[in-house]
């Protein structure tokens, strides 16, 4: 990714008297986690390529509070939510896109009753939208015939019923989409949700991400596609645990499309 | 003395229904120990769920084998119960097969014939169920929470059904008038020969005995429900109605917290002001749940509705990887504790006396609660819209907000969010650095 990314902030936009068509909510993982930052950049590359008039909050963005809520800390969640809503409302944000299904679910479903109602979509939905409106076209055939299996993020799939958008986008790459036995409604969690990402697992006989990676390996994929930064980390670790990292890549759909 | 059987019948019927009603009242009282939930929204969607999920069993058939067998027993149960109507009329008025007398022969024959076929299908299904529970080692029936009473409960229900179906068939087979009429005895005609050598009197006696035991059996079964996981045959319907209609990922926002957060964020708030006087809430709100009274009425209804099928547990990522958490156990514990509280109230003239126990700790451990990934697999799997996840979250809320008892790593993560707006110890001002990093 040598080309310069264009990432306007809401503050800059406001200073110029402009309003973006969509706000890109980067999220904490997308901002700070080394692996997730690559996903963020890939998505910005797509936005730039499609000439989307977007903006980020930059240093004015704070954690959604989602993970605090799942951990049981409703106070912290609502403090974070109210702070973020104040910023979002001040900028009169209408539409939000994010690469993180947890932020997506939280802002979409849990912010409205606290005063923040926005049209929130997941980046796979937005990529699909850009493709169908003709703003984004895939140039090459990087993934033609490659076996790709998609791991449903819980808060995108079961949590909000979004199963088709990521698959529709993947199909556009001319890859061979193979489904795991457990997929869509019965997809197994990667093990990171509910604040598990930030703690050790309780005693058991296996790590959840290893079990899920085994599901994926059964499909003999060349690429495991994800749509969540946390799933990505878990599946990457799982593939390493299985010593398959030389053969199998774990990639976010944004990364796949940015390179296609 | 001519009316003695009618009187005995009426007494049994009244006693059976009476005891059942008193237990239903208790059940409603126990459910009302939870706090109220406003479910006046999404009416059409709720009814649609009742039709599809409860009546139509759309989630059950996702597992074809058990789903198909369940459908047979379910349809059999509902349809064969039309026969109970005839039994009650006959019993109260001393008639014999009133249906045969008032309905056209072909219709009556068709009805009883269908019941007989269903009875056989139910017998076959119930046998397969028994084999699945006791012979084939199906994992979800072998979990630790299924030892003892829950295992016996499952089997007792199956035995009940076998006995009731057999009595129904024997009753028909030994009814000489019914057999001679030859309409509707599709199955019982093959059982009738077993009784060939019997005198008319003995046959009549067997027929009457089967009829009475069948009737008493139904009453016992009805009253068994309250003590059994089998309550789902009644509660599945209201439970699905009150089930979650919003996206599964959406968790409720605690209103008590919202009020405090608003106060905290309000620049005009006077930090030294005396708390506003509200007559109703003298007791400060408790955050989260440590006992059944802290849960909602829907969550308590969920607990009574659970029939311990274990589809939730068999989909739970934590359980699949050997952790202690089992969503089914969360529901069973909630019901057990609720029953204990109910008995406590009964024993203390309608008032709950602190028994030094609670749902958290005495039934559900912290270890189970912290193993949950909140992935909603259990909620998705439940054939009757039970939500174990919501109980887990309420209890986590209590652990974190009332006891500060989160695992240390989570406390660190939350401190980070408080201080720098991210779960990791990074500077807020570095949030956009990714833009220029190579």
Rounded Cα–Cα distance for residues B355 and B39 (Å) = 32
Tokens of A121: 């979509």
What number is the average pLDDT over the span B200-227?
Answer: 95
Give me chain B's average pLDDT, please. Answer: 93
Question: Residue B248: CB partners within 8 Å, gap ≥ 6?
Answer: A158, A159, A160, B376, B379, B380
Name the class of domain A138-259: alpha beta
Neighbours of A146 (CB within 10 A): 17
- Residue of chain A whose Cα is closest to the Cα of B59: A185
Q: Where are the alpha helices (DSSP H) in A205-247?
A: 208-217, 229-241
pLDDT of B258 > 60? The answer is: yes
Burial category of B364 from C-beta neighbours within 10 Å (exposed 0-12, middle 13-18, buried 19 and up) = buried
B418 touches chain A (CB under 8 A): yes
Name the band, by pLDDT with cuts 50, 70 and 90, for residue B78.
confident
Residue A139's pLDDT band (boundaries 50, 70, 90)? confident
- Partner-chain contact A30 B434, CB within 8 Å: yes
User: Considering chain A, what percentage of its residues have pLDDT values greater than 90?
Assistant: 96
CA separation for the pair B413, B340 (Å, rounded): 38
Q: What per-residue confidence (pLDDT) applies to A243?
A: 97
What's the rounded mean pLDDT across residues B385-396? 98
pLDDT reported for residue B274: 63
| Angle (CA) B378 B251 A201, round 5° | 55
The 10s digit of each residue's pLDDT in B263-310 is 887 777 776 766 555 555 555 678 999 999 999 999 999 999 999 999
Which of B414, B426, B438 is best to mutate for the A interface (most A CBs within 10 A)?
A: B414
CB contact under 8 A, A62 and B396: no
- Residue A244 has a pLDDT of 97
Inter-chain residue contact A70 with B417, CB threshold 8 Å: no
Residue B347 CB neighbours (<10 A): 11
pLDDT at B259: 87
Q: In chain A, where are the structural domains located?
A: 10-129, 138-259
Confidence of residue B250 (pLDDT cuts 50, 70, 90): very high
Give Cα A151 to chain centroid, integer Å: 12
The CATH code that applies to domain A10-129 is 1.20.1050
Token pair for residue B253?
A: 């926002």
**Cα A219 from Cα A147, distance rounded (Å):** 8
Residues 6 or more apart whose CB falls under 8 angstroms from that of A158 comprise A152, A185, A187, B248, B249, B375, B376, B377, B379, B380
pLDDT of residue B265: 78
| Of B185, B293, B251, B281, the residue nearest B392 (C-alpha) | B251
pLDDT over 70 (residue B59):
yes
pLDDT in tens, A58-113: 999 999 999 999 999 999 999 999 999 999 999 999 999 999 999 999 999 999 99
B373 and A73: CB-CB below 8 Å?
no
Owner of token pair 């058991």 = A204
Tallying the residues shown for chain B, one arrives at 438
Given pLDDT bands bounded at 50, 70 and 90, which one contains residue B403? very high
Residue-averaged pLDDT of chain A? 96
Residues paired with residue A120 on neighbouring β-strands, in sequence order: A96
Which member of A9, A109, A199 has the closest CB to residue B410?
A199
- Look at residue B252 and give its three-state secondary structure: coil
Higher pLDDT: B154 or A140? It is: B154
**Residue B429 forms contact with A (CB below 8 Å):** yes
pLDDT recorded at residue B2: 80
Q: With an 8 Å Cβ cutoff, are B374 and A194 in contact? A: yes
Query: Which chain B residues are Cβ-neighbours of A200 within 8 angstroms?
Result: 409
Q: According to the model, what pLDDT value does residue A2 have?
A: 54
Selecting from B317, B322, B401 the residue whose C-beta is nearest the C-beta of A75 gives: B401
Q: Give contacts of A72 with chain B, Cβ < 8 Å.
A: 288, 393, 395-401, 406
pLDDT at B347 over 50: yes
- CB proximity under 8 Å: B 220-239 to A: none
Q: Answer yes or no: is pLDDT of B183 > 90.
A: no
State CA A186 to chain mean position distance. Answer: 20
Domain made up of B255-266+285-422: CATH architecture: Orthogonal Bundle (1.10)
Chain B residues close to A207, C-beta within 8 Å:
321
Given CB atoms, is B374 within the 8 Å cutoff of chain A? Answer: yes
Estimate the share of chain A in helix, then strand, then coil, as percent rounded to the nearest 5.
Answer: 45, 10, 40
Contacts of B247 in chain A (CB under 8 A): 105, 108-109, 159-161
**Structural domain boundaries in chain B:** 4-31+63-230, 255-266+285-422
B265 touching A (Cβ < 8 Å) = yes
Q: What is the pLDDT of residue A1?
A: 47
ipTM, two decimals, is 0.95
Cβ-proximal residues to A23 (8 Å cutoff; 6+ apart), any chain? A10, A54, A55, A56, A57, A88, A91, A93, A95, A96, A97
Protein fold of B4-31+63-230: Fumarate Reductase Cytochrome B subunit (1.20.950)
Euclidean distance between CA atoms A223 and A147, whole angstroms: 7
Least confidently predicted of A105-109, A176-180, B187-191, B270-274: B270-274
Distance from CA of B325 to the nearest CA of A (A): 9
Identify any residues that bridge with A251 across adjacent strands, giving them in sequence order: A225
């Amino acid at each position: 990714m040598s080309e310069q990314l264009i990432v306007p902030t809401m503050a800059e936009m406001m200073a110029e008297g402009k309003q973006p068509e969509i706000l890109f909510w980067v999220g904490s993982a997308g901002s700070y986690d080394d692996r997730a930052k690559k996903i963020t950049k890939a998505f910005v590359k797509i936005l730039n390529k499609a000439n989307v008039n977007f903006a980020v909050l930059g240093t004015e963005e704070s954690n959604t509070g989602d993970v605090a809520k799942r951990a049981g800390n409703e106070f912290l969640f609502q403090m974070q939510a109210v702070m973020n809503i104040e910023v979002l409302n001040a900028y009169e944000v209408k539409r939000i896109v994010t690469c993180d299904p947890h932020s997506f679910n939280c802002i979409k479903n849990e912010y409205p009753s606290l005063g923040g109602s926005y049209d929130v979509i997941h980046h796979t939905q937005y990529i699909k939208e850009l493709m169908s409106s003709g703003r984004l076209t895939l140039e090459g055939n990087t993934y033609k015939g490659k076996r790709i299996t998609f791991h449903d993020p819980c808060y995108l799939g079961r949590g909000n019923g979004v199963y088709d958008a990521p698959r529709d986008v993947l199909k556009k790459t001319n890859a061979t989409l193979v489904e795991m036995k457990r997929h869509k409604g019965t997809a197994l969690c990667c093990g990171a949700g509910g604040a598990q990402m930030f703690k050790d697992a309780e005693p058991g006989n296996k790590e959840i991400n290893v079990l899920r990676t085994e599901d994926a390996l059964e499909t003999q994929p060349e690429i495991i596609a994800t749509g969540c930064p946390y799933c990505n980390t878990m599946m990457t670790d799982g593939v390493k645990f299985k010593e398959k990292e030389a053969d199998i890549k774990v990639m976010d759909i944004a990364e796949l499309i940015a390179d296609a | 003395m001519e009316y003695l059987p009618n009187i005995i019948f009426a007494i049994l019927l009244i006693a059976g229904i009476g005891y059942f009603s008193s237990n239903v009242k208790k059940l409603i009282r126990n459910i009302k120990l939870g706090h109220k939930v406003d479910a006046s929204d999404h009416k059409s969607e709720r009814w649609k769920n009742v039709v599809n999920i409860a009546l139509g069993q759309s989630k059950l058939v996702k597992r074809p084998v058990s789903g198909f067998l369940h459908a047979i027993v379910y349809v059999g149960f509902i349809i064969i119960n039309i026969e109970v109507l005839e039994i009650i009329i006959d019993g109260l008025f001393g008639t014999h097969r009133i249906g045969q007398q008032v309905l056209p022969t072909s219709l009556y024959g068709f009805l009883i014939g269908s019941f007989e076929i269903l009875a056989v299908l139910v017998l076959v299904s119930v046998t397969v169920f028994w084999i699945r529970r006791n012979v084939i080692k199906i994992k979800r029936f072998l979990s630790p929470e299924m030892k003892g009473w829950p295992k016996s409960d499952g089997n007792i229900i199956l035995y009940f059904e076998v006995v009731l179906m057999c009595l129904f068939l024997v009753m028909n087979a030994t009814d000489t008038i019914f057999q001679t009429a030859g309409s509707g005895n599709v199955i019982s005609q093959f059982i009738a020969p077993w009784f060939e050598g019997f005198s008319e009197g003995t046959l009549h006696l067997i027929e009457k005995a089967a009829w009475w035991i069948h009737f008493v059996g139904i009453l016992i079964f009805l009253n068994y429900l309250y003590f059994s996981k089998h309550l789902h045959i009644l509660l599945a319907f209201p439970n699905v109605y009150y089930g979650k209609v919003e996206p599964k990922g959406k968790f409720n926002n605690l209103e008590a917290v919202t009020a405090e957060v608003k106060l905290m964020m309000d620049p005009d708030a006077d930090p030294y002001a005396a708390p506003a006087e509200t007559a109703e809430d003298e007791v400060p709100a408790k955050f989260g749940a440590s006992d059944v009274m802290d849960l909602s009425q829907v969550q308590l209804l969920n607990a009574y509705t659970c029939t311990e099928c274990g589809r939730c547990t068999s989909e739970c990522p934590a359980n699949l990887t050997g952790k202690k958490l089992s969503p089914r156990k969360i529901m069973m514990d909630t019901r057990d504790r609720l029953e204990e509280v109910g008995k406590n109230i009964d024993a203390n003239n309608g008032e709950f006396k602190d028994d030094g126990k609670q749902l958290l700790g005495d039934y559900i451990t912290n270890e189970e609660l912290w193993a949950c990934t909140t992935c909603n697999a259990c909620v998705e799997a439940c054939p009757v819209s039970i939500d174990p996840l919501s109980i887990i979250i309420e209890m986590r809320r209590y652990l974190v907000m009332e006891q500060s008892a989160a695992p240390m790593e989570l406390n660190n993560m939350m401190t980070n969010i408080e201080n720098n707006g991210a779960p990791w110890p990074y500077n807020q001002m570095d949030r956009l650095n990714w833009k220029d990093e190579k």
